[in-house]
Structure 1
Amino acid sequence: MISRIASFAALIALLAAAPAWPEPAEEALQKGLGLEEAGNFKAAIQQYDRAIELNPRFAQAHLNRGNAHAALGDDERAVKDYSAAIRLAPKDAEAYHKRGNAYRRLGQIERALADYAEALGRSPQNGDIYFNRGAAYYAGGQYEASLRDYAEVLRLNPKDADAYYNRANTYARMGSKERAIEDYDRALSINPQFIEAYYNRGVAYGDLGQHEKAIRDYTEVLRANPKSFRAYYNRGLAYYRLDQPAQAVEDFSEALRIEPKDAEAVYNRGLAYIRLGKYDYAARDFTEVIVFMPRNAEAYGWRALVRLRQGRDQEAEADFKKAFQLDARLKKRLQPIIEDVQQKAKASSQGQNP
């Protein structure tokens, strides 16, 4: 899910509205703002430290130091600074909003929601606060509330592609794939370069069994990012489900060039090789999966079936025994396939005899 932070321009606006502090503290704050804008957050913190040392009641310096700590991933320190800013300027919506964001990132969802409520009480038309509260509701599993907040964001700004995207993700999590796709469509109509929207729409299409459309979306992702493991992997799954195993093998192989030790990609490539009748390659892949995951019952089961088709009955029997030891339920699933392979082998043998 996407979250949102206030723009640097908004911070300048807050500063302009603040009371005039002693000049040395103001000078240190200005230096800190310049460093923060340049991305030098550690140096900015040193300037904010100086401003607070000169004037401990400088709420804006506490707020900005909190922002710099947050940018460095130190949300616990950010919370302390935002709390100080709130004590000094309790009417400031921005400090509540920022502390809410920090609490959300720390996984303290109820505290985050309380702060967003305080912020909205002070700034009820602020779409960013609704947006981030929607993300907090989503993180807390309160999906209906999340949808309401994204609807409010879109009421305030109907061209907000990120809000459509996050609402689509919420619908998808709730199982409403069709409504998710509608919102991904809206996000992409506003921002045609929204690669995450293409990817997640592809996932939604796949969940609905619309694999051709999923393939088109994953292809868009790969045009923008040819190193996307997940796009190659998911497109490979889509090709496999469309019974296009050769294309599936190509995509799983591309995925494995990016992540050579991904057991799922190796496993699914093995299944695609079976459909192509390339049993040696399939056996090699299932063996590799077993090296990665020695207790993977399905890898043993599929390797057993491959070896059965190769006429390597003793090795197949050993693999079946291991597979069923690891997962007794697998026997019921594989038994029809085993019988089919054995019947075909028997028919082939009889056809060759005079």
Structure 2
Amino acid sequence: MLRGWLVASLILLGAGLSLAAVTTSPLAKEKQWEEARSYLAEGKAAEAKAVFEALLRRYPQEADLHLFLGITLLRLRDPQAAEKSVRTAIGIDSDHVEARTLLAWMESDIHGNFDAAIAEYEKVVELMPDFPQAYNNLGVALKRKGDLHEAAESFNQALARKPDFGAALSNRGWIFAEQNRWSEARRDFEQALEINPNDDGALYGLSQSLREARDYSGAQKVLSQLISRSPNFVYWLEWGRIGLIRYWWVLLAIALAFFFKGRLKKARIVSDGG
């Protein structure tokens, strides 16, 4: 869970830094604002928290401050306080895209409340209809809820705005996989890997697509790449399972050889009067 928090925090931190650079907020002239964000970027969450709280005493109506305090509290493993801070940011600015995105992530990944997450992501899409990441986020929440058709449409919308969006391609590939549309899944996984060869999710999806196409050699080759990157037991297990499928006839031949060897030995004992 902590790793997920850190990923979400860093994504939002990057977005916040970009927006803060062009804002007309009085924070733009505050050295402490820059200092606190630098602390956060360097992983010094406790120091960042102290500076953000000091700034909030002077600027209690700055939504960005509440958002960044929320991100900092996540880094400090205090999700309840973080959520309160993020909701305060939205209360100040109901159109705050980054705050709504983080709240949606909390609803999904911390609370498991996919309906609430979807509602927040839909609001972000409404606020930023040309932003492909918003549709991708919505699609992920819809998929986790089990609404595969709606999720696929969200990924389609993301790709319509950014055709080389690797994450959306990989995510749509997994939708196709769950629908047993393996040729389409393989196409999406391969395109995602052309964009980002380090996408382990797409690489694993490709291995499953190759397995379903009975290209067992290709599937094992792809799984070997994953195993070389990460000693994940799931990859080893899948590699071994495909190996059993691939070489079943060899195993059968060995088993039969032992069987007949045993029968022959028994027959010799009987013939010798044993």
- TM-score grouping bracket, smaller chain normalisation: 0.7 to 0.9
| Cα RMSD for the two superposed structures | 2.8
Call closer, same or farther: CA 1:239–1:69 in 2, change over 3 Å. same
C-alpha spacing 1:227/1:164, structure 2 compared with 1 (3 Å): closer
Instruction: Measure how far apart 1:96 and its partner are.
Output: 0.7
Q: 2:105 & 2:230 partners in 1: Cα distance? A: 34
Question: One-letter code of the match for 1:276?
Answer: R
- Paired residues, what number? 248
Counterpart in 2 of 1:112?
82
Q: Is the 8 A contact 1:230 1:255 kept in 2?
A: no
- Give the Å deviation of 1:181: 1.4
1:199 aligns with 2:170: yes
Alignment match, 1:88:
58
Is 1:311 paired with 2:256?
yes
Mapped to 2, the partners of 1:154 and 1:182 lie a distance apart of: 13
Matches within 5 A, 1:180-199: 180-199=151-170
CA distance in 2, matches of 1:121, 1:130: 11
Percent sequence identity is 19
Instruction: For residue 160 of structure 1, report the CA deviation from its aligned partner.
Output: 1.7
Give the 3-state SS of the residue equivalent to 2:31 in structure 1.
helix
Corresponding residue of 2:194: 223
Could you say if the C-alpha distance between residues 112 and 238 of structure 1 is closer, same or farther in structure 2, counting changes exceeding 3 Å? same
Give the TM-score of the pair, scaled to structure 1: 0.62
Question: Contact 2:128 / 2:134 at 8 angstroms: preserved in 1?
Answer: no
Alpha-carbon distance between aligned partners in 2 of 1:229 and 1:131, rounded to the nearest angstrom: 24
Deviation, 1:170, is 0.9
Question: Does the 8 A contact of 1:66 with 1:78 survive in 2?
Answer: yes
Deviation per CA, 1:79-112, whole angstroms, max 9, x where unpaired?
2221111112212221111111222344433222
Instruction: Rate the CA distance shift 1:260–1:149 in 2: closer, same or farther, 3 A.
Output: closer
Aligned equivalent of 1:156: 127
Give the superposition deviation at 1:246: 3.5
Match of 1:264 in 2: 234
Which consecutive unaligned segments of at least 5 residues does structure 1 have?
Answer: 19-28, 31-59, 281-305, 315-354
Structure exhibiting the larger radius of gyration computed from Cα positions: 1
Which structure has more RCO (C-alpha within 8 Å, separation ≥ 6)? Answer: 2
| In 2, Cα distance between equivalents of 1:170 and 1:84 | 35
Offset from partner CA, 1:305-333 (integer Å, 9 cap, x none): x367543648xxxxxxxxxxxxxxxxxxx
**Which of 23, 43, 63 is the aligned partner of 1:13?**
23
Question: Deviation at 1:131?
Answer: 1.8
Gaps of 5+ in 2: 1-6, 260-274
Contact 1:112 1:136 in 2 (8 A): no
| 1:12-35 residue CA offsets vs partner (Å, 9 max, x unmatched) | 6356x36xxxxxxxxxx98xxxxx
The alpha-carbon distance between structure 1 residues 7 and 227, as it changes in their structure 2 partners (threshold 3 A), is closer
- The answer to whether the 8 Å contact 2:166/2:193 transfers is no
The secondary structure found in structure 2 opposite 1:7 is: helix
